[in-house]
Structure 1
Amino acid sequence: MRHLMLAAAATLACAAPALSENRIDLIRPDAPELAARGPHPVGVRAASFTDPDRIDVIATTATGTPPTAERTLQAEIWYPAADGTEPGTTYDTMLRDGVTPTTLSGSAARDAAPAEGSFPLVILSHGYPGNRYLMSHLAENLASKGYVVVAADHPDSTYDDMGAFASTLVNRAVDQRFLLDSMAGLEDEIGAITDADTAAVVGYSMGGYGAMIFGGAGLSQTAIDRTEPERFIPPQKLLSRLAAGSEDHAALVDPRVKAIVAIAPWGRQHEFWDADGLAGMTKPLLLVAGSDDDVSIYDAIRQIFDQTTAATRHLLTFDHANHNAAAPIPAPVEAWAFSESLGRAPFDHYADPVWDSVRMNNVLQHFTTAFLDQHLKGEDRGAFLDLVPDAEDGVWSVDDAGTPDATHSYWPGFPDRSAKGLMFETKNAGQ
């Protein structure tokens, strides 16, 4: 027994430095094919974008003209870097409790010179609460494959800046549009390589709510007229600006956005959309969810999948996963400890009780790459998107040389025995 205890202690001692690095760029040996990093080194730099005249939802009262104020989004931009760029950077941030500092480690190089070329734009949008680093694993991964990726802290919706929920309801899709316009307006060397006319939005939870609205799914009249709960009701029916069929919503939806990825999108469970509003989504859509999501509610996400009838869409399901399926970075080591301010360990903000976070990150990287390559780059990724819906039904049948035979139906890109607990369903526009 003593030998076992010593061996365990030695293992933990060896693992501690790796854990303390809080790496966001891990690729498991059994990761699906398209999770692998791409050919480009990655650069990252900070940015700040200020909307000078946004309606101040929190300061708006029941009557009178809604006041406006500056709304500043602190952002990070990841991008393909010049050949020879040495990898490695850290990100100083904080945990879900809004107090505890943590440092993340990745493969990007801070302020590296950009690669030559023109690259599609991807906007990442965190949940409530969250911050711009919550999906940084995906940001670095996509940048290595030839995308410019921007993620911002959404005011009133971050770990240390949680304002009234109504502000997020009104502002999230508008923030996403503002980020698109801001990136399109860059006149520096990053702007020179950014193809903002070919863009996608990837949103998690409330970011997914915003992405659905920005993508064309206007809000229901129920959302506009509801009388409870109070936190869902912005003053002066400000949500009417996002209503299906309204001029304001039509002006928000942007033809530069070619595809939407909505991970655990919040809203359908509270009737923020109905079938008519969801039918306004015409852009290709990738939905990602855990089958046990008890926040956005899995059955409600399936309603989104069924009712976005004008779009070609996919639904990737992690069996038994909850609301944290795929999107968040692995829990930083500091998140394992009890937080006095939160009253619990922040671990559960990042992790899933059933699935390994790196595994989920890698699966998301694989499918997001296939989906965005198909719709933003025009590459044929159909083999990775036209799948036996239940991975358990896939048959692995190859010869000694590894060549699949006529009965082989295992998910392309997944090593044998690795596509477990996953569903991938597709419906074409009109279905």
Structure 2
Amino acid sequence: MPHHGADARVAIWYPPGAGGTPTLYADNPVFKGVEATLDADVAPGDFPVVLFSHGMGGTDRAQAWLASELANRGAIVVLVNHPNSTWGDFDMTEGVRHWTRAEDLSTALDMLIDDPVLGGHIDRSRIMAAGFSYGGWTALSLGGMTGNLEGIVGVCTAQIETMEACDMLLSDDVSMQTQKPETWNASYADPRVTLAAAIDPGFVWGLDNSDTAALVPGPLLIGLGDGQTRMSATNFVESGLVALLNGAHIVQLAPAFHFSAMPLCKPDAPAILEAEADDPVCTDPPGTDRVAVHSAIIEAIADTLGL
């Protein structure tokens, strides 16, 4: 990633042909892994591409469940670990520079197109930018939406007690309010992107019509939770974003909450996370079926891709 002056991990999932080595991927004491085959041949044909961006402090492994299913249905899925906002590589002073994440995905797409094997299997008419949480904003940005620094800082300042992460974003260390508007508000669209999908996207407050005018048509917005379980910072309805979009496909999933888009959890996961004073990412609202939530997300994105 030349714009970072650093390397970044990129995981590529694709429709498998013959051969390869079966493995359990992204398995750990907290999260259940997914079955994968390493280094299999590529199935014959041309496939849509999904450029996927993880959330703040996430990794490519966090949505391996989604990449695996989309690949099995006939998509190439490229997941990028964004420098400075990845688990184990977290510096939000740099990570708040949201445009670098869009540049990460564009660089990964360059790499994919130039790949001597996978590059010949790309359906250029179906290239989707997709993401979860902060990565949902990255996807919308790559699809043509532009930021509004004055708008988001104004909302964060007014609602710092109730808007998740605003206290961090406005802190002296991160200082979102001192970013340069001409950089924050510029377009980081990739003209090769034809589709966009965002799962509980961040930075959806304080936008206006000019910020959404160039977004690719028919974006998919997936919201998690309702009422008390809906995260304010990612509420694309209350923020007014949906009202700015024509032809958007809206999917609202409940019971659920923001972290229901994380992997399936093992039985001891809540106790492990509590002992480590980590986010309760495995404590879904009562009645939530995380398998069903994942299935609904997979179906919505697959439908948008025409799979």
Q: What's the TM-score, normalizing by structure 2?
A: 0.82
Q: Aligned residue for 2:272?
A: 338
Distance 2:174 2:151 in 1: 8
Whole-angstrom distance in 2 between the partners of 1:183 and 1:369: 20
1:89 is paired with a residue whose SS is strand
Q: Which residue of 2 aligns with 1:177?
A: 106
CA shift in 2, pair 1:234/1:179, >3 Å: farther
Residue matched to 1:139: 67
**Aligned-residue offset at 1:140:** 0.8
1:264 aligns with 2:196: no
Gaps of 5+ in 2: 158-169
* Deviation digits for residues 173-199 of structure 1 (CA, Å, limit 9, x no counterpart): 222222222222222x22232345631
Structure 2 partner of 1:353: 285
Q: Which amino acid aligns with 2:87?
A: Y
Q: 1:190 to 1:283 in 2, by over 3 A?
A: same
Specify which of 86, 101, 105 is matched with residue 33 of structure 2: 105
State how far apart, in whole Å, the 1-side matches of 2:298 and 2:21 are. Answer: 19
What do residues 98-152 of structure 1 show as CA deviations (whole Å, max 9, x unaligned)?
xxx6675323211111112221111111101110011111111111111111112
Q: Deviations over 1:77-108 (max 9, x none)?
A: 1111115x5784222566xxxxxx66753232
CA spacing shift, 1:103–1:331, aligned 2, 3 Å: closer
3-state SS of 1:257 partner: coil
Distance 2:139 2:41 in 1: 30
1:217 aligns with 2:145: yes
TM-superposed deviation, 1:313: 1.0
Q: 1:314 to 1:350 in 2, by over 3 A?
A: farther
Tell me whether 1:160 sits opposite 2:96 in the alignment: no
Spell out, residue by residue over 1:43-62, the C-alpha distance to the aligned partner (whole angstroms, 9 max, x if none): xxxxxxxx22x1xxxxxxxx
Change in Cα spacing, 1:185 to 1:299, as seen in structure 2 (3 Å) is closer
1:77 aligns with 2:77: no
Residue 369 of structure 1, CA deviation: 1.1
> In the alignment, is the contact (CA less than 8 A) between 1:280 and 1:308 conserved in 2?
no
Q: What amino acid is aligned across from residue 73 of structure 1 in structure 2?
A: A
Larger Rg: 1
Query: Which of 179, 191, 194 is the aligned partner of 1:255?
Result: 191
Equivalent residue for 1:305?
242
1:74 shift after superposition: 0.2
SS, match of residue 258 in structure 2: coil
- Taking the aligned partners of 2:141 and 2:104, their CA distance within structure 1 comes to 12
Name the counterpart of 1:323: 258
By how many angstroms is 1:288 displaced? Answer: 0.5
Give the corresponding residue for 2:165.
none
The 2-side partners of 1:334 and 1:183 are apart by 38
Q: Which ranges in structure 1 are unaligned for 5 or more consecutive residues? A: 1-50, 55-68, 95-100, 378-431
Alignment-derived partner of residue 237 in structure 1: 179
Tell me: CA distance 1:181–1:299, structure 2 relative to 1, closer, same or farther (3 Å). Answer: closer
In the TM superposition, structure 1's runs of 4+ consecutive aligned residues that sit over 4 Å from their partners are 101-104, 223-228, 299-302
Mapping 1:382-421, distance limit 5 Å:
none
Residue identity matched to 2:14: Y
Matched letter for residue 295 of structure 2? N
Distance 1:317 1:225 in 2: 26
- Out of 16, 25, 30, the residue aligned to residue 91 of structure 1 is 25
Q: CA 1:78–1:297 in 2, change beyond 3 Å: closer, same or farther?
A: closer
Distance 1:225 1:265, change over 3 A: closer
Q: 1:316 to 1:282 in 2, by over 3 A?
A: same
Q: Which amino acid aligns with 2:122?
A: T
1:279 aligns with 2:213: yes
- Identity across the alignment (%): 24
Contact 2:204 2:239 in 1 (8 A): no
| Bigger RCO of structures 1 and 2 (CA < 8 A, at least 6 apart) | 2
Task: Calculate the TM-score normalised by the size of structure 1.
Answer: 0.60
Residue 102 of structure 1 contacts residue 332 of structure 1 at CA under 8 Å; is this kept in 2? Answer: yes
Q: How many residues are paired up?
A: 288
